[in-house]
Amino acid sequence: MAKKDKAFVQDITPMDQDFSRWYTDVVTRAELMDYSDVRGCMVIRPYGYAIWERIQQELDRRFKETGHKNAYFPLFIPESLLKKEAEHVEGFAPEVAWVTHGGSEELAERLVVRPTSETIICSMYARWIQSYRDLPLKLNQWCNVVRWEKTTRPFLRTSEFLWQEGHTVHVDYEDAQKETLTMLEVYRSFVTDYMAIPVLCGQKTEKEKFAGAQDTYTIEAIMHDGQALQMGTSHNLGQHFAKAYEIKYLDKDGAQKYAWQTSWGVSTRLIGGLIMVHGDDRGLRLPPNIAPTQVIIVPVAAHKPGVSEKANELLDILKAAGIRADIDERDQSPGWKFNEWEMRGVPLRIEIGPRDIENGQAMLVRRDTAEKQPAALEGIVASVNDLLAQIQQNMLDQALALRQAKIRKAATEAEICEAVDAHKGFAISPWCGDRACEEHMKAEYNITTRCMPFEGQEEAEGAVCPICGKPAKKMIYWARAY
Amino acid sequence: MAKKDKAFVQDITPMDQDFSRWYTDVVTRAELMDYSDVRGCMVIRPYGYAIWERIQQELDRRFKETGHKNAYFPLFIPESLLKKEAEHVEGFAPEVAWVTHGGSEELAERLVVRPTSETIICSMYARWIQSYRDLPLKLNQWCNVVRWEKTTRPFLRTSEFLWQEGHTVHVDYEDAQKETLTMLEVYRSFVTDYMAIPVLCGQKTEKEKFAGAQDTYTIEAIMHDGQALQMGTSHNLGQHFAKAYEIKYLDKDGAQKYAWQTSWGVSTRLIGGLIMVHGDDRGLRLPPNIAPTQVIIVPVAAHKPGVSEKANELLDILKAAGIRADIDERDQSPGWKFNEWEMRGVPLRIEIGPRDIENGQAMLVRRDTAEKQPAALEGIVASVNDLLAQIQQNMLDQALALRQAKIRKAATEAEICEAVDAHKGFAISPWCGDRACEEHMKAEYNITTRCMPFEGQEEAEGAVCPICGKPAKKMIYWARAY
């Protein structure tokens, strides 16, 4: 190991030594976030926020393509409004922040800072929707939400976080169900294609579903340490909220009917997943599609005549071709810069010095494999685009391989624990469908069900539940979760 | 007046009859917003939010071009942190919302919901900035803020609103002042070029400046009723916050120095200005550059063969050319649709029916002038782009003419009142520079100073203050303000 590598590794705790410290080291050293003076709230620094902007841009485009519009609803929800849907308030009341005073006056009614916006949005939908002609109504909101968490971790669980929440209204169950699964697919394809994170898609159990939903669907990813991260959820709300908030429409047949609803969301938590799936002991690794900076140009021997000019010329060429490129001309050594940009996970580095320029080439260095290869300056845009596509694919392949290695079939309680503990991953097993078995696993081992996958359910036929021995109804994933 | 016009006018109170009701009618009928169940908080409906998205997109581009990056800071500010800068807390404490409980527990320290973020951002800057090499630091944040207002009005003054706040740090006064004025110019040019709103640029008085600023600069617009709307402000914070929050840097000369700062912001209030400058008795009028929909296609006799096909073909052609076009194929009469889209302020309407198609043309109707003109379908993109540019220019010219007609010179207190009351506009007068004269005008007539303009200050020389008769130091604008 070269000297600079050793020095570098001292900055970031190795993953295998302490995954949790590795994670904290990466998010702080790469300047993705910082801790604030407010309990459980973090600051998203420019580099972290740039990743969020990339996520927003691409998801927003997909939401609009699927017929959604953005709107904005109030941050505050009156206590009485929150309490209308019984399951919902039970799920959220313990973890909300309460506003009790405005200026120097005590409020007549306390307000909660939204933990999610079903209640305030439903109260408006009840006014706006009169007829079947008003449906479907498909809105989305980008905003901040607050959940007063006891233990917090950057990006994964913070008292305040940024997210989007879609809220739609439909004439019947079928249309609501179609929307629920369409949005799950929007999430799955985005996370797979853009973030290079393969996910397990399926349904949550009754115990794990969203407070107030009829059914919750989820995309779940496996982190490097084998723990699960719920990356996004899509809920078929049935008529639960429509009945609580009186969202009715006049149907074609002249009858007043309760509407059917969905809601779905992803948050800045996605950034935590990105780090924990792709990161390594040198820091972040960002897939090119989501990277704020795809290519960093580092001039070598920049004081020599013509180097800075040529490097900037190259920058202009890449930018003009729509590549998100940048140049590092700070007064630091090339080695320091190499480390710095590797730590920040920039997918491709271009080194260009006097000898390269003489030979009409530049050196391309991949972050994913550390491979170096020269490329002719003539036609370099094609070489760069080609490499970026290869990196994107390779990172997805690596993540797929990681996932495959971490999932084990389990037929007994001991095998579930072994898959989770010894093999640091997920177990898939048959399951009787009883909440009692989930509660047992949670209480004994802190292992939870992640989802009943859409695929492979036929394997449950004739099998028994490894916990209680009763006939199985479903195949289900088990893991420890963030 | 045609029958449909009469019916339409009944929906919107005429401006001259009751400007305030006219405004409320327009914002609700055009579905820009709706009132919520939360005191002083509004819902921004999709059409209103689409205007905000256009504003965000274009301003964000300009912020990034001028070297700023986005970040995100916590919603909550601990009471002790808010109180560090004396003037600032005095200005904001009476109007903040207080969070006192998290879940079922009372917090050890109360939190305010940010009314603006100088305090929380400065506490982070104090950690991040060590050396002159870290400067300038130029960040911006898009977020929601809360000010517990007693009287509220949609978009103009609401308890919660959306905005952006830029916060920058510099090595000296000069660099901070340069930034302050650069951002004021970004606002001025955006508002002029995109929103077709001419503004008066200048400096706020000591009485009217931002709580905690050294100097505040503003862009002020004149609404249709002659009242002033502060559209955006840019503050040179001097070293006030740096000293309160200990933001120091090690300079090249080896000395520790307090940094210099700026902050600047615009909000969803801009949408209120857009309505009140350009709207008329038929509803909204949106300048093409800011309009979410620039062109609405209304098929006429759409049941006749080929009409819908041709109209959709036209839609595709316009969209492919980058024009924000839409089509209205709802089951309603063309007349109803004409009214509807005029009310929503879409700059250009295209009517296309069987006879138009026969003649290879379509009818183009301007929202700004109500002029109709046929255009050949062949080459219609050029005709549309040309007309959109004309509409943009004409709306700016109209707004400029409105502004010119509403500003009067005043040499006496009576003339100031006359300019504001009888002529429903602004007065410009010399001013002694004393706060007492401002307080007198505010107390007696509810008239406030708007700004000391950058231009024309030489007129103050040798003049006297119309209120106290003392020698004038400055020329200043007076008005009633939203």
ipTM: 0.96
- Asked if A49's CB is within 8 angstroms of B69's CB, the reply is yes
- Asked if A103's CB is within 8 angstroms of B162's CB, the reply is no
| C-alpha span between A421 and A166 (Å, rounded) | 36
Query: For residue A48, what are its two tokens?
Result: 């972290």
Q: What does the pLDDT look like over B424-439, one tens digit per residue?
A: 999 999 999 999 999 9
Query: For residue A472, what are its two tokens?
Result: 């199985």
Q: How far is CA A116 from the centre of its chain?
A: 17
| C-alpha span between A70 and B50 (Å, rounded) | 7
In chain A, the residue whose alpha carbon lies closest to the alpha carbon of B60 is A53
Q: What does the pLDDT look like over B133-192, one tens digit per residue?
A: 999 999 999 999 999 988 999 999 999 999 999 999 999 999 999 999 999 999 999 999
In chain A, the residue whose alpha carbon lies closest to the alpha carbon of B80 is A37
Q: How far is CA B128 from the centre of its chain?
A: 32
Residue A2 has pLDDT above 70, yes or no: no
- Asked if B100's CB is within 8 angstroms of A72's CB, the reply is no
Q: What does the pLDDT look like over A138-186, one tens digit per residue?
A: 999 999 999 998 899 999 999 999 999 999 999 999 999 999 999 999 9
Residues of chain B with pLDDT below 50 are 1-4, 6, 9
Question: Shortest CB distance from B74 goes to which of A43, A53, A148?
Answer: A43
What's the first-to-final CA gap in chain B, in angstroms? Answer: 34
| Homologous superfamily of the A407-479 domain (CATH) | C-terminal domain of ProRS (3.30.110.30)
Q: What is the pLDDT of residue B7?
A: 52
| C-alpha span between B34 and B208 (Å, rounded) | 31
Q: Which of B209, B229, B227 is nearest to B217 (CA)?
A: B209
Q: Do domains A295-387 and A407-479 have the same CATH topology?
A: no
**What is the least distance, in Å, from the CA of A383 to any CA of chain B?**
28
Q: What is the pLDDT of residue A88?
A: 85
- Asked if B123's CB is within 8 angstroms of A113's CB, the reply is no
> DSSP state, B114?
P
User: Cβ(A83)–Cβ(A51) under 8 Å?
Assistant: no
Q: What is the pLDDT of residue B85?
A: 85
Pick the CATH number of B295-387 from 3.30.70.141, 3.40.50.800, 3.90.1200.10, 3.40.1550.10: 3.40.50.800
Residues of chain B in contact with residue A45, where contact means CB-CB under 8 angstroms, are 71
Question: Shortest CB distance from A148 goes to which of B50, B69, B102?
Answer: B102
Residues of chain B in contact with residue A98, where contact means CB-CB under 8 angstroms, are 99-102
3-state secondary structure chain A: CCHHHHHHHHHCCCCCCCHHHHHHHHHHHCCCEEECCCCCCEEECHHHHHHHHHHHHHHHHHHHHCCCEECECCCEEEHHHHCCCHHHHHHHHHHCEEEEEECCEEEEEEEEECCCCHHHHHHHHHHHCCEHHHCCEEEEEEEEEECCCCCCECCCECCEEEEEEEEEEECCHHHHHHHHHHHHHHHHHHHHHCCCCCCEEEECCCCCCCCCCCEEEEEEEECCCCCEEEEEEEEEEECHHHHHHCCEEECCCCCEEECEEEEEEEECHHHHHHHHHHCECCECCCCCCCCCCCEEEEECCCCCCCHHHHHHHHHHHHHHCCCCEEECCCCCCHHHHHHHHHHCCCCEEEEECHHHHHCCEEEEEECCCCCEEEEECCCHHHHHHHHHHHHHHHHHHHHHHHHHHHEEECCCHHHHHHHHHCCCCEEEEEECCCHHHHHHHHHHHCCEECCEECCCHHHHCCCECCCCCCECCEEEEEECEC
Q: What does the pLDDT look like over A53-80, one tens digit per residue?
A: 999 999 999 999 999 999 999 999 999 9
Question: Shortest CB distance from B98 goes to which of A49, A96, A100?
Answer: A100
Residue A3 has pLDDT above 60, yes or no: no
Q: What does the pLDDT look like over A425-480, one tens digit per residue?
A: 999 999 999 999 999 999 999 999 999 999 999 999 999 999 999 999 999 999 99
Q: What does the pLDDT look like over A383-399, one tens digit per residue?
A: 999 999 999 999 999 99
**What is the least distance, in Å, from the CA of B102 to any CA of chain A?**
4
Question: Shortest CB distance from A111 goes to which of B38, B111, B128?
Answer: B38
Q: What is the pLDDT of residue B259?
A: 98
Maximal CA-CA distance, chain B: 82
**What is the least distance, in Å, from the CA of A46 to any CA of chain B?**
5
User: Cβ(B352)–Cβ(B315) under 8 Å?
Assistant: no
Selected residue of A77, A99, A107, A163 to mutate for chain B interface (largest B Cβ count, 10 A): A99
Residue A105 has pLDDT above 60, yes or no: yes
Q: What is the pLDDT of residue B88?
A: 86
CATH class of B11-278: alpha beta
Q: What does the pLDDT look like over A346-368, one tens digit per residue?
A: 999 999 999 999 999 999 999 99
- Asked if A102's CB is within 8 angstroms of B98's CB, the reply is yes
Helices (H) and strands (E) in chain B, counts: 15, 24
Residues of chain A in contact with residue B97, where contact means CB-CB under 8 angstroms, are 76, 99, 101-102, 111
SS3 of residue B340 by DSSP: helix
| Strand (E) or helix (H) holding B191 | helix B173-193
CATH topology of domain A18-278: BirA Bifunctional Protein; domain 2 (3.30.930)
Q: What is the pLDDT of residue A392?
A: 98
Q: What is the pLDDT of residue A8?
A: 52
- Asked if A69's CB is within 8 angstroms of B49's CB, the reply is yes
**What is the least distance, in Å, from the CA of B10 to any CA of chain A?**
22
Whole-model pTM?
A: 0.96
SS3 of residue B12 by DSSP: coil
> DSSP state, B133?
G
Q: Which residue has tokens 């973020």?
A: B117
The full set of domain ranges for chain A reads 18-278, 295-387, 407-479
